[in-house]
Amino acid sequence: MANFNSYCHVLLVLTIVFVCFSIITNLHSTASIKKHLAAVDSTNTVEQADLHSSDDTSQTLSKGPYWLDTKIVQFNQTQKELGILEEIRLLGVDDKDNVTLPFKRHERVVIVSKVLWPKDLHLLKRMLCLQKAAYNRFVNYDVVVFTTLPWTIEQVEDLGRVVAPARLTVTNEGPTLEGHLAEMTHDEIVFLEKRCGVNRTKANKSNANLTWFHHCRDGNNLNNLGYSWQSEFRASRLWTHPALRDYKYMIWLDSDSFCSQTWDKDPLEAMVQQNLTLMWTTFYGKTLLKEFGTKMLNTYGEELCDNSLLDGHMEPKRNCKGKRIRFKQVGGFFHITNLDVYREDRHQNFLKELVGDYRFSRKWDDQLAVTVIAAMEDPTRAWRLRSHNFTFNVRHHKIYDGEEYIKIRNTNDWWNKMIRDNWHAGRLLCDWCF
């Protein structure tokens, strides 16, 4: 019996030794395989994806609101694109365009745009490809796209390959329309339905009759709800959106704003070195409403009644008691802002007062919001781009930089007849967009 117990003891020890040896061998093999795969991966520059999040990343942003749905992708550049960039370098076209390279990559900078739905994907591809050819290929800043209706991960990846190697975030900017309506009172909903020519029936009280595509009256304006909402979002909610919380500087471009040349100077260098609040293209309309003055008095304790250009920066008129308001506002299609300034409590209080409780309104829009904060903060830190020799000729609504009308109005004809043969980097990188 003693011999049998000794035999069992030896067998148990041998078994434990064998198991430990197997585990160590397996770990060593796994490490070797990982090392091999890492070596292969490091040499693979062919469009490999580094997906920083899955199809549903809302749970990764635990501090975000319940409706936040964010998809983030980042790709390496393809061998084909790397070859194009090398061709651009060998041609020396950037030197011929007097580009003051190298541009310094600053921290906490993001390029931002906004669309209604994924059907705007092709428009975004064109805009962001041209912007990359003009500027972002030098600095590779992150890109954030806000959307009202959700995208699939495949659509996000499709756009991610265009902006590569920059990181792309596509996120909804707010609740669904049903979510907005759930936060409104009965009287507010009835008023909105009246504006939109929609009446709920007794059988249908779920607001299903209202969609983002309903055209609704707002004074003299007639816009669909999606467009009115983007105006409200960009005016008051953009600045503190969770997707932008890690950034200080924002380059905003509307999805139909198209670069036409390589940027020969870096506007972000000026923003940082001069501690600017805003860089803007041109004045774009004016506000005449007395209510505008009241909103400023309620939050700032003073009002602005006019706005002009002086030595390349804004020059607003203050102390406007008894004077007529004729306040000029900057164009919203392209501007660069210091987000930290726009997030300050006193400015956020004004933006909330500006938009007020009147939901889905075009009256108080992003152009006015961008202008007032810069004028109130320090107008000498709000530079007009062209006044400081930043002439980028960004095409929007058939006008360059909001000031110079373009002879060829059709976008494809403009590209083929005016731009592609004169902008080598743009043609080599983005000719497929047209």
Residue 182 lies in a domain: no
**DSSP code of 102?**
P
Residue 366 lies in a domain: yes
Looking at residue 100, its pLDDT comes to 83
Looking at residue 10, its pLDDT comes to 45
Residue owning tokens 């202008």: 371
Q: What global pTM score does this model have?
A: 0.84
Higher pLDDT, 55 or 210: 210
Work out the widest C-alpha separation in the chain, in whole angstroms: 113
Residue 18 pLDDT > 70, yes or no? no
Residue 76 lies in a domain: yes
- Which regions of 254-363 does DSSP assign to beta strands (E)? 278-280, 283-287, 304-310, 313-318, 327-330, 334-338
22-57 core/surface letters (b: 16 or more CB in 10 A; e: else): eeeeeeeeeeeeeeeeeeeeeeeeeeeeebebeeeb
Residue 270 pLDDT > 50, yes or no? yes
Looking at residue 213, its pLDDT comes to 94
Structural domains of the chain, count = 1
Residue 285 lies in a domain: yes
Contact in structure between 149 and 121 (CB atoms under 8 Å): no
Which one, of 385, 409, 262, 263, lies nearest residue 334 by Cα? 385
Span 1-13, average pLDDT: 49
Residue 197 lies in a domain: no
Residue 417 lies in a domain: yes
What percentage of the chain reaches a pLDDT higher than 90?
Answer: 75
Q: Which two tokens stand for residue 100?
A: 């003051």
Looking at residue 326, its pLDDT comes to 95
Residue 210 lies in a domain: no
What pLDDT band is residue 45 in, cutting at 50, 70 and 90? Answer: very low
Looking at residue 57, its pLDDT comes to 37
Mention every residue, 6+ apart, whose C-beta is less than 8 A from residue 352: 236
- What CATH number is associated with residue 384? 3.90.550.10
**Residues 58, 53: Cα–Cα separation, whole Å:** 9
Work out the angle at residue 130's Cα, subtended by the Cα atoms of residues 129 and 132, and round it to the nearest 5 degrees: 65
Of the CA atoms within 13 Å of residue 320, those in its CB half-sphere come to: 22
Span 109-133, average pLDDT: 98
Residue 281 lies in a domain: yes
Rounded to a whole number of angstroms, the CA Rg of the chain reads: 27
What percentage of the chain reaches a pLDDT higher than 70?
Answer: 83
Domain of 83, in residue numbers: 58-176+218-433
88 three-state secondary structure: helix
Higher pLDDT, 398 or 55: 398
Read off the pLDDT of residues 176-204 as tens digits, 9 standing for 90 and up: 999 999 999 999 999 999 999 887 544 35
Contact in structure between 339 and 249 (CB atoms under 8 Å): yes
